[in-house]
Amino acid sequence: MAWKVIDILSGNHIKISPKWKWAGQSGDKVLVKGYLVSLSGLPAELAEVMAKNRLSSTIKDKEITLRNPTKAENGVLYCDVFYNDINISKYFADFGKELH
């Protein structure tokens, strides 16, 4: 299934349509797994703006797929996000990697 990114909420949070459904929960927000903006080595505010801008230019108003969900909490799904079959965390190699 494909979802459309309708808004970029932060450097690693997006809003999608239609709502996702997983493990008895649903919502329209996704936390993109694979990188942590806070580990970029840049000042926090600058890192957040850069990550948000990069997400916007990469996937805003585009169709994505959601894979490998690990949890859903407060209407937010934690998962890998793919655009054109590429995990978008690859576009954030200069940001710190998320440890699982």
What pLDDT was estimated at residue 97?
Answer: 65
- Map out the domains of the chain as residue ranges: 3-97
Q: Any idea which architecture 3-97 has in CATH?
A: Beta Barrel (2.40)
- For residue 54, the surrounding DSSP H or E stretch is helix 44-59
pLDDT above 90 for 71: yes
What was the pLDDT predicted at 73? 94
Separation CA 73–CA 54 (nearest Å): 25
Produce one character per residue of 24-59: b if its CB has 16 or more CB atoms within 10 Å, e if not. ebebbbbbbbbbbbeebebeeeebbebbbebbeebb
Yes or no: say if 21 and 32 are a contact pair by the CB < 8 Å rule.
no
Q: What is the Cα–Cα distance from 7 to 15, expressed in whole angstroms?
A: 5
pTM of the model: 0.91
What confidence tens digit (pLDDT) does each residue in 13-70 have? 999 999 999 999 999 999 999 988 887 888 889 988 999 999 999 999 999 999 999 9
